[in-house]
C-alpha cells in the first residue's frame, strides 16, 4: 500500500513539473530560419539613386561590415529608398545585434541631410512571407480616413508586439500639402523657388536635438519642428533682400492626396490591406493572437475586418488534427487491448500508459528546451 501511494505521489509530482514546463514553453509554429535577419531602410524622397548609394548605402555597408557573425549583406536602391538586408549567424543574440545596428544607423543618420527620413530597422527580410493579412473597409469612412486610423492607431501597437518585424499598409491615399508658386509674383521679386521649396522640405522634419547617453547605448533626441496645420504654412515668412513677405503672397497652398501607388480590392470592393511580417524568431501562434486582439480593440464596429491569411490559424488546425488522430488511436487501442489481456488491471494500466507517455515526452522536450513546433510535431 505504501509503495502504491509513493508511486502515485511520484507520478503526480513529475506530471506537475512537466505541466509547468509545457505551460511556459507551449506549442507554436517557428519560422525555422537559418540566420538572424535585419533590414535597414532609409528614405530620401526625390533623390537620385546614385546619390543615395553614395550618401547612405555604401557608408552603411562599410560600417556594418565589421560586425561579428555577419554572413551576408544585400542592398537595393530605388525610388528614393535605400534598403540593406543583413544576415547574421545565430550564435549572437537579437539584443546584441540590434543595439550595435541602432548605434551605427543613428550615427550615420546624424551626418545625413535633414530631408532624409528617420531610418527604420526591421528584424526580417523583405522576402519573408506574411504571417497575417487583414482587409479593412467601411461604408461610413473613406479609404484615406481608414488608412490614417490604421497608421496612427494600429500599426504602432502591432509593431510593438514581440515577434513582429513590420506592419505594412497598402491601399488608400496619403494626405499631402501642395505648394504651387505663382510664376508672375516670383519673377517680379526675383525669387528662387527651388531654394524655397528645399527649405520647406528640409525644415518640415524632426530636428536633431542632441543625445541621451546611458551605459548601454546612446539615444538621439529630436525636437518636433514639423508644421502641423496648413494655416501655419500660409504664415511662413520669406526674406527678400531687406523685406519679409508671407509665403501665401507668392504661392497657393492646399491639401491634396498623393496618387495611390497601389489599388487594393477584395471581392470587387476597395479596401485597406494590413500585412504583418514576423521576425526570424517569432512564435507565430502567439503573434497571431495578439495582433488580432489589437485590431479588434482599436477599430470600431463600423469597420469590416476580414482575415485573409492567418498562419496561427493554420497551426491550430494542425494541432486539432493531431489531437483527433491521437483520440482515434486511443479508441482503437481500447477496442483491441481486451483481445490480448483478460485482467482489467492490465487493460487500465495500458490505456493509462498511452496518454501519460505522450504527456511526459512533451514535458521532457520542454525541459531540455527543444522547441515544440511544427517540425517536432
Give yes or no for residue 75 having a pLDDT over 70. Answer: yes
Q: Is the dihedral of CA 75, 77, 78, 80 positive or negative?
A: positive
pLDDT at residue 60, as a whole number: 92
Residue at grid coordinates 512571407: 129
| Statement to judge: residues 123 and 193 lie in one domain | no
Residue 54 placed within a domain? yes
Most confident of the following: 24-33, 69-78, 262-271: 69-78
Residue 236 placed within a domain? yes
pLDDT at residue 200, as a whole number: 67
- Structure-model confidence comparison of residues 132 and 244, the more confident one: 132
Q: For residue 286, which of 132, 112, 100, 107 has the smallest C-alpha distance? A: 132
End of a domain among 201, 234, 257?
257
Q: Is the dihedral of CA 198, 204, 205, 207 positive or negative?
A: positive
| Statement to judge: residues 109 and 191 lie in one domain | no
- Structure-model confidence comparison of residues 105 and 254, the more confident one: 105
Residue at grid coordinates 496618387: 259
pTM to 2 decimals?
0.60
Give yes or no for residue 376 having a pLDDT over 80. Answer: no
| Statement to judge: residues 45 and 101 lie in one domain | yes
**Residues 29, 285: Cα–Cα separation, whole Å:** 6
List the domain range (segments joined by +) for residue 59.
33-127
| Statement to judge: residues 122 and 183 lie in one domain | no
Give yes or no for residue 53 having a pLDDT over 60. Answer: yes
Residues 344-356, mean pLDDT to the nearest whole number: 77
Residue 43 placed within a domain? yes
Residue 182 placed within a domain? yes
Angle between helices 2-25 and 344-367 (to 10 degrees): 40
Question: Which grid coordinates belong to 253?
Answer: 497652398
End of a domain among 65, 93, 127?
127
Residue 209 placed within a domain? yes
Alpha-helical (H) ranges within 33-154 are 49-52, 58-64, 94-110, 143-149
Here the contacts of 205-209 (C-beta below 8 Å, separation 24 or greater) are: 205/114, 205/115, 205/117, 206/118, 207/114, 208/110
Confidence of residue 224 (pLDDT cuts 50, 70, 90): low
Confidence of residue 98 (pLDDT cuts 50, 70, 90): confident
| Residue 125 parent element (H or E) | none
Is residue 119 within 8 A of residue 42, CB to CB? The reply is yes
Give yes or no for residue 223 having a pLDDT over 60. Answer: no
Give yes or no for residue 279 having a pLDDT over 70. Answer: yes
| Statement to judge: residues 182 and 253 lie in one domain | yes
Q: Total domain count for the chain? A: 2
Residue 334 placed within a domain? no
**CATH code where residue 102 lies:** 3.30.70.1430
Confidence of residue 358 (pLDDT cuts 50, 70, 90): confident
Is residue 12 within 8 A of residue 56, CB to CB? The reply is no
Give yes or no for residue 308 having a pLDDT over 60. Answer: yes
Residue 238 placed within a domain? yes
**CATH code where residue 222 lies:** 3.30.2090.10
Residues 88-92, mean pLDDT to the nearest whole number: 79
End of a domain among 88, 108, 127?
127
| Statement to judge: residues 122 and 179 lie in one domain | no
Per-residue pLDDT tens over the stretch 138-163: 888 888 888 888 888 888 888 888 88
Question: What is the DSSP code string of 209-249?
Answer: EEEEE-SS-EEEEEEE----SHHHHHT-EEEETTEEEEGGG
Confidence of residue 119 (pLDDT cuts 50, 70, 90): confident
Give yes or no for residue 211 having a pLDDT over 60. Answer: no
| Statement to judge: residues 181 and 241 lie in one domain | yes
pLDDT at residue 23, as a whole number: 65
Residue 14 CB-density burial (10 A; 0-12 exposed, 13-18 middle, 19+ buried): middle
* Range from 20-34, 74-88, 206-220, 251-265 carrying the lowest mean pLDDT: 206-220
Angle between helices 284-298 and 311-336 (to 10 degrees): 130
Residue 357 placed within a domain? no
**Mean of the per-residue pLDDT values for the chain?**
76
| Statement to judge: residues 179 and 120 lie in one domain | no
| Statement to judge: residues 44 and 119 lie in one domain | yes
Give yes or no for residue 218 having a pLDDT over 60. Answer: no
| Residue 83 parent element (H or E) | strand 81-88
Give yes or no for residue 32 having a pLDDT over 60. Answer: no
Confidence of residue 2 (pLDDT cuts 50, 70, 90): low
Amino acid at each position: 500500500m505504501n509503495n502504491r501511494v509513493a508511486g502515485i505521489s511520484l507520478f503526480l509530482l513529475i506530471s506537475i513539473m512537466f505541466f509547468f514546463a509545457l505551460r511556459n514553453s507551449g506549442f507554436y509554429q517557428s519560422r525555422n530560419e537559418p540566420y538572424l535577419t535585419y533590414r535597414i531602410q532609409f528614405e530620401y524622397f526625390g533623390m537620385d539613386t546614385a546619390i543615395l548609394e553614395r550618401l547612405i548605402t555604401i557608408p552603411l555597408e562599410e560600417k556594418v561590415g565589421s560586425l561579428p557573425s555577419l554572413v551576408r549583406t544585400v542592398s537595393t536602391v530605388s525610388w528614393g529608398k535605400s534598403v540593406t538586408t543583413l544576415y547574421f549567424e545565430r550564435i549572437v543574440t537579437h539584443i546584441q545585434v540590434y543595439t550595435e545596428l541602432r548605434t551605427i544607423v543613428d550615427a550615420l543618420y546624424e551626418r545625413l541631410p535633414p530631408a532624409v527620413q528617420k531610418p527604420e530597422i526591421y528584424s526580417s527580410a523583405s522576402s519573408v512571407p506574411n504571417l497575417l493579412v487583414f482587409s479593412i473597409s467601411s461604408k461610413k469612412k473613406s479609404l484615406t480616413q481608414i488608412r490614417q486610423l490604421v497608421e496612427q492607431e494600429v500599426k504602432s501597437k502591432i509593431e510593438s508586439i514581440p515577434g513582429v518585424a513590420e506592419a505594412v499598409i497598402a491601399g488608400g491615399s496619403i494626405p499631402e500639402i501642395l505648394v504651387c508658386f505663382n510664376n508672375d509674383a516670383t519673377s517680379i521679386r526675383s525669387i528662387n523657388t527651388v531654394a524655397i521649396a528645399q527649405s520647406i522640405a528640409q525644415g518640415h522634419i524632426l530636428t536633431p536635438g542632441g543625445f541621451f547617453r546611458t551605459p548601454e547605448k546612446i539615444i538621439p533626441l529630436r525636437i518636433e519642428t514639423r508644421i502641423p496645420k496648413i494655416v501655419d504654412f500660409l504664415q511662413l515668412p520669406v526674406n527678400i533682400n531687406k523685406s519679409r513677405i508671407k509665403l501665401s503672397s507668392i504661392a497657393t497652398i492646399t491639401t491634396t492626396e498623393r496618387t495611390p501607388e497601389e489599388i487594393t480590392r477584395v471581392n470587387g470592393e476597395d479596401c485597406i490591406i494590413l500585412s504583418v511580417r514576423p521576425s526570424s524568431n517569432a512564435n507565430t501562434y502567439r503573434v497571431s493572437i495578439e495582433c488580432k486582439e489589437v485590431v479588434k480593440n482599436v477599430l470600431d464596429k463600423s469597420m469590416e475586418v476580414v482575415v485573409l491569411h492567418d498562419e496561427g490559424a493554420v497551426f491550430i488546425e494542425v494541432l486539432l488534427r493531431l489531437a483527433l488522430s491521437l483520440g482515434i488511436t486511443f479508441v482503437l487501442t481500447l477496442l483491441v487491448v481486451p483481445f490480448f489481456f483478460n485482467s482489467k488491471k492490465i487493460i487500465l494500466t495500458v490505456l493509462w500508459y498511452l496518454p501519460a507517455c505522450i504527456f511526459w515526452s512533451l514535458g521532457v522536450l520542454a525541459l531540455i528546451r527543444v522547441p515544440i513546433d511544427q517540425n517536432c510535431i
